[in-house]
Amino acid sequence: MSLALLQQDDDKIIDGKAIAQRVLEEVKVDVITLQQQGIEPCLAVVLVGDDPASHVYVRNKVEKARFVGIRSLEFRFDEQLSEEDLLQKIDELNADPDVHGILVQLPLPKQINETKVLERINPKKDVDGFHSENVGGLSQGRDVLTPCTPTGCIRLLKEALGDELTGLHAVVIGRSNIVGKPMAALLLKESCTVTVVHSKTKNIQQICQQADIVVAAVGRPKMVTASYLQADAVVIDVGINRIVEDGKARLVGDVDFDDALPMVSAITPVPGGVGPMTIAYLMKNTLQAARLQHPDL
Ligand code: NDP
């Protein structure tokens, strides 16, 4: 009989909020250690324009930085900022030895080339892990700064399965540069057997049925149902989708949580799963960035 059928449903839920809190407590301790070595970890956040969601994200990031004792600097610019002026700001932050991490909140206004801006950030300060040098480093399995969301997902998997992910078959649904691709690279680094599926893949359902781990990063509400899963699979739901159900707006993932729960051995909820881990790993990355800039430590 499948283990999942014997488990209590509550025990299967991976509590991302609680795990993220533990990550933040770990960061707090590491911040103190760095301060004792004379380094004041500092994150610079750059926000261009009036996108309300971006303002909320930036506020949350700054609050969490304060909570763990990381100094944060905020640079807000209006929608009309030129690409040249933004690049100049990045150059200044790159040159400032007191700034360890640089985060440019996306999306940027259309007159600014996102790739050009992200490529301008010193890879050692690239706390989002989007610079091509870090992307390349990850694909070679080197210890570089890696994107926060998939890195947080690996921690969730280790909390659910133990440190050893070796040999497990992981299916990643989605191949974006921000989530799907780095997720696949990180799973490979953990010696998983990795399959990536996307909008052009045939038989996604059958492929997922062979997975020990399913990571859904699609952006399609409740796409993954129990019929996609083998008994005892571990499911990480990255999706954040706003839907209206019974006249009420709510957030749901890419996985149909209620349908999948009886089938799985562990699953992240939405909200309260991957979301809080993303910001916690931004803080971890800022510390890693500070250490990268002080290899003498
Ligand atoms: P993207 O839109 O960039 O990528 C979506 C991926 O899903 C693409 O690779 C696309 O394939 C694939 N896809 C789309 N439709 C299907 C389908 N029917 N079957 C299989 N694959 C499909 O999204 P992101 O990766 O940026 O984000 C994915 C989700 O994760 C979103 O809901 C987003 O809000 C959420 N998210 C959550 C974060 C968090 O902190 N929790 C952080 C970042 C994202 P193709 O490449 O062929 O088009």
What confidence score (pLDDT) does residue 3 get?
Answer: 73
Residue 296's pLDDT band (cuts 50, 70, 90): confident
pTM above 0.85, yes or no: yes
pLDDT at 1 over 70: no
**C-alpha–C-alpha distance, residues 172 and 162, integer Å:** 19
Ligand 1 pocket at CB < 6 A = 149, 173-176, 178-180, 197-200, 204, 217-220, 238-241, 274-275, 278
Determine which residue's CA is closest to atom 47 belonging to ligand 1: 199
Catalytic: 61?
yes
Decide if 38 contacts 296 (C-beta within 8 A): no
Atom of ligand 1 nearest to the CA of 253: 32
Per residue in 74-102, pLDDT (tens digit) is 999 999 999 999 999 999 999 999 999 99
- Mean pLDDT for the chain? 96
Residue 163's pLDDT band (cuts 50, 70, 90): confident
What confidence score (pLDDT) does residue 2 get?
Answer: 75
From 128, 212, 237, 256, the catalytic residue = 128
What's the 86 CA to ligand 1 centre distance in angstroms? 28
Per residue in 214-225, pLDDT (tens digit) is 999 999 999 999
H/E/C letters for each residue in 40-95?
CCEEEEEEECCCHHHHHHHHHHHHHHHHHCCEEEEEEECCCCCHHHHHHHHHHHHH
**C-alpha–C-alpha distance, residues 84 and 87, integer Å:** 5
pLDDT at 69 over 80: yes
Strands 241-245, 248-252: parallel, antiparallel or unpaired by DSSP? antiparallel
pLDDT at 8 over 90: no
Residue 200's pLDDT band (cuts 50, 70, 90): very high
| DSSP 8-class letter at 221 | T
**Closest C-alpha to 215, from 160, 262, 143:** 160
What's the 56 CA to ligand 1 centre distance in angstroms? 21
